[in-house]
Chains A and B, each alone.
Chain A
Amino acid sequence: MDFNTKYTPQSWPDHPEQVTLEGKNKFLGFWLFLAGETVLFSSLFATYLALKNKGPSGMEFSTQTLFELPLVFVMTMILLTSSLTSVYAMYHMKNHNFKGMQTWLAITVILGIAFLCLEIYEFNHYVHLGFTYGQSAFSTAFFTLVGTHGLHVAIGLGWIILLLIRNAKRGFSLYNAPKYYTASLYWHFIDVVWVFIFTVVYLMGVVG
C-alpha cells in the first residue's frame, strides 16, 4: 500500500488508520501503551487514597476545606466536551472531510487549553493558601496525581497542535491517518482519567 496514493471520499477506506501494517501496529501498540498508562494512574490513585488528608500533626487542610466543586465542575464539562469534539473530528476523518476534521480538532485544542488554564489557576490558588507541594503527604500526593494528568493534557495538546500544523496543507493519507487516530485515542484516555479524578479526588473529597 503506497503512502502517497491520493484518495477521494469514495475510495477512502472505512478504517483508514488500520489499512497499512504500520497503521495496524500503531493502533495495537497504542492500545497497549494505554493499558500501561492505566496501571500508572492506578498506582497514583492508590497512593493518593492512602495519603489523603494525611499530614503533619495539626494540619489545617483537608479535602473538605480545600476543594470547591463549581470550578472543578466547569473543568469537567470543558474536558468532556473536548472529548466529544475529538469524536466529531474522527467522524470527519472517516468521511474524508479534512477541513471538518482540522476544525473540530482545533476546537478540541481550544477547550484543552481552557481546561489547562483553569487547572493552573486552581493550583496557583492552593499554593497561595499555603497548600504547597511540600506542605504535607496529602499535598504531594494530590499535586502528583492531578499534575500528572495535567502534564498528559499538555503533551496531548502539543501533539495535536503539531499534527494540525504539519498536515494543514497536505490533507489525508494513509501515513497520517493512524497518527490522528492515536492522538484522539490519547485524548479520550485523558478524559477518562479525569472522570476518575473528578470522582475520587473531588466528589469523594467534598461529599464522601
Chain B
Amino acid sequence: MSSIAKKKGFGASLWDYLTTVDHKKIAILYLAAGGLFFVIGGIEAMLIRIQLAKPDNDFVSAGLFNEIITMHGTTMIFLAAMPLLFAFMNAVMPLQIGARDVAFPFLNALGFWLFLFGGLFLNLSWFMGGAPDAGWTSYASLSLASEGHGVDFYALGLQVSGAGTYIAGINFLVTIINMRAPGMTYMRMPLFTWTTFVASALILFAFPPLTVGLFFLIFDRMFGGNFFDHTMGGNTIIWEHLFWIFGHPEVYILILPAFGIFSEIFSLFSRKRLFGYSSMVFATVLIGFLGFMVWAHHMFTVGLGPTANAIFSVATMAIAVPTGMKIFNWLLTIWGGSIKVTVPMLYALGFIPSFVAGGVTGIMQAAAPLDYQLHDSYFIVAHFHYVIVGGVVLAILAAVHLYWPLMFNQMLSEKLGKWTFWFFFIGFHCTFFIQHFLGLMGMPRRVFTFGADQGWDTFNLISSLGAILMAIGVIILVVNVIITIVKNEKVGNDPWGDGRTLEWAIPQPIPFYNFKQTPLVRGLDTFWIEKQEGNKEGMTYAEPLSDIHMPNGSIIPLVMSFGLFVASFGALYNGEKDWAIPVLVLGLAITFASMAIRSIKDDHGFHVHKEDILKNEGGNK
C-alpha cells in the first residue's frame, strides 16, 4: 500500500476521513464535530438569554425553555467541551511523547464515531417529538415523570457517546504508559500530557457509574424497571449518587486538560521553564484523586445528614489547596519571563482572574450551611459558568489558536484573534458576574421567566447583552477560521518561534507516520534543549532510519457505532411500535457482526519503506 503523496478527489478524501485511524485526522474530526455542537449549544444559550432579557417574556414557552436549558447543558458538557479537548489530546499528546500514533488507532476511530452518533441521536430529539426537558442532571424524580421521548433520547444518546469517551480514556492511558519515546520519563512529560493522563484515569473510573445510572433510567422508562419508583420500593436518590459520582470527576476531566493547555502556554510565551514542574504534577494527581471524594457536595440539601455533609464539605475545600498551588506556579512562570502577548497568552492571562473568581465561589458553596442558601439559585449558575467558561472554554479557544498551526500548518489571524478574545472575555464577565447578585437576590435557576416587580430586570438585561458580546466573539472566530482556510498560507514547523516541547519539533506538514525516527528525549522541554545547543537537525534521534509499521484504515468503527445508533431507536420505541424490538436486535446484530469481522479478519497493518521516507523528506499529505 503506497499511501504517500497522492492527490485525491473529494470522494477519496471523504472516504479517507470515514476510515481513518490516524490520530491527527481523528483530531480534526473531533474539532469539527465538537465545534459544530459548540455552536448548537451556543445558539441554545442565546435563546435562553433572549427569553430572560425582559420580565414576563413569551419568546419561548415554559416547556420549550426546559428543553433548551437541558440541551444547552448536555450539549456543552458532553458534545462540545469534551470532544474539543479530545481533539487537542489526539492532535498533540502523541506528538508530545514522540509516539507514532495512539496505542489503539482502531479504537480511537471507534471512540469518535460513537461520540458522533450518540450526539446526533441526542439532537435528533428536536425533530422527533421534543428534546429532553429534565435538566442536564436529569434527576430521576423529574425525568421519570417527563412526558414523551425526550429523556429517552438523553439516556440512550449519552450511553452511546459515553461508551466512546470511555474507550478514548483507556486508549490515552495505554498510549502514555507504553508509547513514550526513549528518555521520556514520567517526570519529563509535558504538563498537557500529564493532565491528559490524569483526566483519562478519571474517565476510566467515572464513566462506568454514569453508564449504570443511564441503564437504570433506560430500564425504568423503557423496559418496566423500578429502580427509582418509590411506590415499587425504588429509591430516586440512587440516581443522584450515581450521576454525581460521575458528574463531579467530570468537571475535573474537563478542567485538568485546560490546566495543561495553560501550562504549555505560560511556559511557551514567557519563554521560561514552567515554574514548579514537579509540584504541578503532584497537584494534578491530587486534584484527580480528591475529585472522587466530593460528589455529595452537589447533594447537601438532599438530607444526607450533618456528618456526611461535614465530611464532603471539608474534602471539597481541600481541593482548593492543589488548585491554588497551580495558580501560584503559573504566576511565577510569568514572573521575570520574556513575555510575548499573543492570542493564546491573552486567553491564559484572562483565565487566571476568571478561574480564581470561579474557584472562590466554589469554596463558598463548599460550606454546607451557606450552600443551603445558594442551592438552585443563579449564584450556582454564575459559579459553574465561571469555572467552565472561564476555565475550560477559554482554554479551548486558546488551544484553537495555539495548535491551529500544528494541526493545519496555517496560522489564525492574530488581529482577529484579539478581537475574538476581547469580545468574548468582556461578554463573559458581563454575562455571568452579575448573575452572582441575581442569585443572592433570590432568582432561582431554571425558571423560564420572572415578574417585573421582582427587581431582576436590569441585571438580567445586562446579562443578556453580555451574551451577545460573546456571540460576536465566536462569530469573529468563525470568520477568522474561514479566512485562514481560504488563504491557506503555510507556516512550517515551530511557528511561534519558541516551541519547547516535542510537538513543535516535527516537520510540517506532519508525515502520517509522525517522526521519521523516534526522537531521543534529553530532558523536560526537550526541543528547547536541542535549540539551545544549536542542533540544526531539530532533534537527536534514538534509532536509525528504518521501515515504519503503520495500521490500516477501516470503515468498521463507523459501522459498529451506526449499529448502536439503530439499536437506540429500537429501545426508544419499545412497547409502543411493533418494529421496536426487531430494530433493536438488528442494530445490536450490526454492532456484534462488525466486532466479529474485526476479530476474524487479520489486520497486520503495513510497512512504510525506508526509501519512501527518504524521498518524502519534509512531510506529505
Beta-carbon contact of B600 and A36 below 8 Å: no
* B235: contacting residue among A35, A44, A54, A144, CB under 8 A: A54
Beta-carbon contact of A166 and B599 below 8 Å: yes
Please measure, in the bound complex, the distance between the C-alpha atom of A179 and the C-alpha atom of B595, giving whole angstroms: 13
How far does the Cβ of B366 sit from chain A's closest Cβ, in whole Å?
Answer: 25
- Residue B229 is within 8 A (CB to CB) of chain A in the complex: yes
Q: Which residues of A contact B65 (CB under 8 A)?
A: none
Please measure, in the bound complex, the distance between the C-alpha atom of A141 and the C-alpha atom of B219, giving whole angstroms: 11
How far does the Cβ of A147 sit from chain B's closest Cβ, in whole Å?
Answer: 10
Please measure, in the bound complex, the distance between the C-alpha atom of A55 and the C-alpha atom of B230, giving whole angstroms: 8
How far does the Cβ of A115 sit from chain B's closest Cβ, in whole Å?
Answer: 21
Beta-carbon contact of B602 and A175 below 8 Å: yes
Q: Which residues of B contact A159 (CB under 8 A)?
A: 599
* A137: contacting residue among B177, B178, B235, CB under 8 A: B235
Beta-carbon contact of B170 and A36 below 8 Å: yes
Taking A35-B204, A36-B207, A175-B602 as contacts, is the C-beta distance between A137 and B212 under 8 angstroms?
Answer: no
How far does the Cβ of B240 sit from chain A's closest Cβ, in whole Å?
Answer: 12
- List which B151-186 residues lie within 8 A (CB) of chain A: 166, 170-171, 173-174, 177-179
Please measure, in the bound complex, the distance between the C-alpha atom of A44 and the C-alpha atom of B504, giving whole angstroms: 46
Interface centre among A39, A54, A133, by most chain B C-beta atoms within 10 angstroms, is: A39
Contact with B along A10-37 (1 / 0, CB 8 A): 0000000000010011001100110111
Query: Does more than half of chain B's interface fall in helix, strand or loop, or is it mixed?
Result: helix
Beta-carbon contact of A40 and B212 below 8 Å: yes
- List which B221-276 residues lie within 8 A (CB) of chain A: 223-227, 229, 231-235, 238, 242, 245
Please measure, in the bound complex, the distance between the C-alpha atom of A145 and the C-alpha atom of B204, giving whole angstroms: 20
Beta-carbon contact of A137 and B204 below 8 Å: no
Q: Which residues of B contact A35 (CB under 8 A)?
A: 204-205
- Residue B208 is within 8 A (CB to CB) of chain A in the complex: yes
Beta-carbon contact of B242 and A43 below 8 Å: yes
Taking A21-B178, A29-B103, A144-B215 as contacts, is the C-beta distance between A36 and B233 under 8 angstroms?
Answer: no
Which residue of B has the minimal Cβ distance to A52? B233
Please measure, in the bound complex, the distance between the C-alpha atom of A134 and the C-alpha atom of B225, giving whole angstroms: 5
How far does the Cβ of B589 sit from chain A's closest Cβ, in whole Å?
Answer: 13
Which residue of A has the minimal Cβ distance to B174? A29
Beta-carbon contact of B227 and A141 below 8 Å: yes
- Residue A63 is within 8 A (CB to CB) of chain B in the complex: no
- Residue B209 is within 8 A (CB to CB) of chain A in the complex: yes
Please measure, in the bound complex, the distance between the C-alpha atom of A105 and the C-alpha atom of B229, giving whole angstroms: 43
Please measure, in the bound complex, the distance between the C-alpha atom of A140 and the C-alpha atom of B234, giving whole angstroms: 9
Beta-carbon contact of A55 and B178 below 8 Å: no
Please measure, in the bound complex, the distance between the C-alpha atom of A162 and the C-alpha atom of B596, giving whole angstroms: 8
- Residue B216 is within 8 A (CB to CB) of chain A in the complex: yes
Contact with B along A47-63 (1 / 0, CB 8 A): 10011001110010000
Beta-carbon contact of A55 and B233 below 8 Å: yes
Q: Which residues of B contact A25 (CB under 8 A)?
A: 103-104, 174, 178-179
- Residue B6 is within 8 A (CB to CB) of chain A in the complex: no
How far does the Cβ of A137 sit from chain B's closest Cβ, in whole Å?
Answer: 4
Contact with A along B581-618 (1 / 0, CB 8 A): 00000000000100010011010100000000000000
Contact with B along A109-152 (1 / 0, CB 8 A): 00000000000000000000000011011111100100000000
Beta-carbon contact of A36 and B235 below 8 Å: no
Which residue of A has the minimal Cβ distance to B228? A137
- Residue B493 is within 8 A (CB to CB) of chain A in the complex: no
Beta-carbon contact of B226 and A140 below 8 Å: yes
Beta-carbon contact of A137 and B227 below 8 Å: yes
* B226: contacting residue among A44, A137, A162, A175, CB under 8 A: A137
Beta-carbon contact of A28 and B174 below 8 Å: yes
How far does the Cβ of A20 sit from chain B's closest Cβ, in whole Å?
Answer: 10
Beta-carbon contact of A140 and B170 below 8 Å: no
Q: Which residues of A contact B204 (CB under 8 A)?
A: 32, 35-36
- Residue B435 is within 8 A (CB to CB) of chain A in the complex: no
Which bracket fits the contact residues of B?
Answer: 35 or more
- Residue B211 is within 8 A (CB to CB) of chain A in the complex: yes
Q: Which residues of A contact B207 (CB under 8 A)?
A: 36
Taking A44-B212, A47-B212, A56-B231 as contacts, is the C-beta distance between A140 and B174 under 8 angstroms?
Answer: no
Please measure, in the bound complex, the distance between the C-alpha atom of A43 and the C-alpha atom of B206, giving whole angstroms: 11
Q: Which residues of A contact B599 (CB under 8 A)?
A: 159, 162-163, 166, 179
How far does the Cβ of B416 sit from chain A's closest Cβ, in whole Å?
Answer: 42
Which residue of A has the minimal Cβ distance to B166? A36
- List which A146-169 residues lie within 8 A (CB) of chain B: 158-159, 162-163, 166
Taking A54-B235, A56-B233 as contacts, is the C-beta distance between A133 and B209 under 8 angstroms?
Answer: no
Please measure, in the bound complex, the distance between the C-alpha atom of A25 and the C-alpha atom of B106, giving whole angstroms: 13
Q: Which residues of B contact A141 (CB under 8 A)?
A: 227
Please measure, in the bound complex, the distance between the C-alpha atom of A198 and the C-alpha atom of B604, giving whole angstroms: 42
Q: Which residues of A contact B219 (CB under 8 A)?
A: 140, 144
Beta-carbon contact of A28 and B208 below 8 Å: no
Please measure, in the bound complex, the distance between the C-alpha atom of A187 and the C-alpha atom of B298, giving whole angstroms: 38
Beta-carbon contact of A43 and B212 below 8 Å: yes
Taking A25-B178, A39-B209, A175-B604 as contacts, is the C-beta distance between A137 and B233 under 8 angstroms?
Answer: yes
Q: Which residues of B contact A39 (CB under 8 A)?
A: 205, 208-209
Please measure, in the bound complex, the distance between the C-alpha atom of A144 and the C-alpha atom of B220, giving whole angstroms: 11
Beta-carbon contact of B232 and A47 below 8 Å: no
Taking A32-B173, A32-B174 as contacts, is the C-beta distance between A133 and B242 under 8 angstroms?
Answer: no
Which residue of B has the minimal Cβ distance to A144? B219
Beta-carbon contact of B225 and A138 below 8 Å: no
Beta-carbon contact of B211 and A134 below 8 Å: no
Q: Which residues of B contact A37 (CB under 8 A)?
A: 208
Please measure, in the bound complex, the distance between the C-alpha atom of A199 and the C-alpha atom of B204, giving whole angstroms: 26
Interface centre among A21, A138, A140, A175, by most chain B C-beta atoms within 10 angstroms, is: A140
Which residue of A has the minimal Cβ distance to B602? A175
Beta-carbon contact of A137 and B229 below 8 Å: yes
Taking A56-B231, A166-B599 as contacts, is the C-beta distance between A3 and B604 under 8 angstroms?
Answer: yes
Q: Which residues of A contact B178 (CB under 8 A)?
A: 21, 24-25, 28
Residues of A within 8 A of B (CB): 3, 21, 24-25, 28-29, 32-33, 35-37, 39-40, 43-44, 47, 50-51, 54-56, 59, 133-134, 136-141, 144, 158-159, 162-163, 166, 175, 179
Residues of B within 8 A of A (CB): 103-104, 166, 170-171, 173-174, 177-179, 204-205, 207-209, 211-213, 215-216, 219-220, 223-227, 229, 231-235, 238, 242, 245, 592, 596, 599-600, 602, 604
> What 7 A-B pairs are tightest by C-beta distance, nearest first?
A54-B233, A137-B233, A134-B224, A40-B208, A137-B234, A43-B212, A55-B233
What are 24 pairs between A and B in contact, CB < 8 Å? Answer: A21-B178, A24-B178, A25-B103, A32-B173, A37-B208, A39-B205, A43-B208, A43-B209, A43-B213, A47-B212, A47-B242, A51-B235, A55-B232, A55-B233, A56-B233, A133-B225, A137-B232, A137-B234, A140-B220, A144-B219, A144-B227, A166-B599, A175-B602, A175-B604
